[in-house]
Amino acid sequence: MRVLVVEDNAVLAAQLRAALAAAGFAVDAAADGEEGLFLGETEPYDAVVLDLGLPVLDGMSVLRRWRAGQRGMPVLILTARGSWTDKVEGLNAGADDYLAKPFAMAELVARLNALIRRAHGHAQPEITCGDLRIDTAAQSVALDGAPVRLTALEFRLLECLAHHIGQPVSKTHLTEHLYGQDFDRDSNTLEVIVGRLRRKLGERFIDTVRGLGYRLTPPP
């Protein structure tokens, strides 16, 4: 899953990037509201962590402009403002959740995972596909009860397919949601990762849909 962090505090932004990367996210970052607005308008993100007290353009204005432009990705507001009136204003502007500083990184990661799950129609962190179980919170996979060891990119790709279980997911969509801006999108890494997943899970779960991409389906 791909996340945008819009935070002007360089130390906190670096901490957020490190924590989210460790949790399996591909992370892009912006240091002011104008850059964050542009990235949110032009790149497909699964979720956004948005500070309110941003230079150039404040976070509330960024959020309102995203929503006015029909950008529907889940947004978690992160701010030092903790009053209930600020929370109400943010939620009414289109935020999906609110976390006041200081906060625990584990809570932020858990809230982001929950937002992404709900955005894809999953109430629980575990997604099942036949005898394959994908725990999006623990970043773990089990096949017929036995754990399967995956790399971060392998899990990220499988998780993206699991959020669209039974539906074809285009290579473009997978690439956009798996990697940050600085990734070489002309490489054949996606095909390599799919091949590795098939070797670890068996050929029966991931179908190639000609002209469309890949699909995670329960075996017959």
pLDDT at residue 219, as a whole number: 80
Q: Determine contact, residues 161/214, Cβ cutoff 8 Å.
A: yes
Q: What is the pLDDT of residues 106-147, one digit of tens each?
A: 999 999 999 998 888 777 889 999 999 999 888 899 999 999
The single residue listed with the structure tokens 């054949």 is 188
Q: How many whole angstroms separate alpha carbon 115 and alpha carbon 110?
A: 9
Assess whether 98 and 142 both reside in one domain: no
Residues 55 and 94 in one domain: yes
The reply to whether 92 and 169 lie within a common domain is no
Q: How many domains does the chain have?
A: 2
Same domain, 61 and 22: yes
Residues of the chain with pLDDT under 70: 81-83, 181-187
Among candidate residues 95, 119, 143, the one where a domain is terminated: 119
pLDDT of residue 100: 87
pLDDT at site 90 = 82
- pLDDT, residue 59, reads 92
Secondary structure string (H, E, C) spanning the chain: CEEEEECCCHHHHHHHHHHHHHCCCEEEEECCHHHHHHHHHHCCCCEEEEECCCCCCCHHHHHHHHHHCCCCCCEEEEECCCCHHHHHHHHHCCCCEEEECCCCHHHHHHHHHHHHHHHCCCCCCEEEECCEEEECCCCEEEECCEEECCCHHHHHHHHHHHCCCCCCECHHHHHHHHCCCCCCCCCCHHHHHHHHHHHHHCCCCEEEECCCEEEECCCC
Domain range for 136 = 126-216
Q: What is the pLDDT of residue 38?
A: 97
| Strand-strand pairing, 126-129 and 75-79 | unpaired
Of 100, 119, 138, which closes a domain?
119
Q: Which of 69, 102, 119 is the last residue of a domain?
A: 119
Structure-block tokens of residue 162: 């699991």
pLDDT of residue 46: 92
Co-location of 168 and 137 in the same domain: yes
Residue 86 confidence (pLDDT): 76
Question: Position of tokens 């009136």?
Answer: 85
CATH code (residue 18): 3.40.50.2300
Q: What is the CATH number of the domain that holds 188?
A: 1.10.10.10
Residue with tokens 């849909």: 209
Q: Which pTM was predicted?
A: 0.80
- Position 176 scores a pLDDT of 83
130 and 181 part of one domain: yes
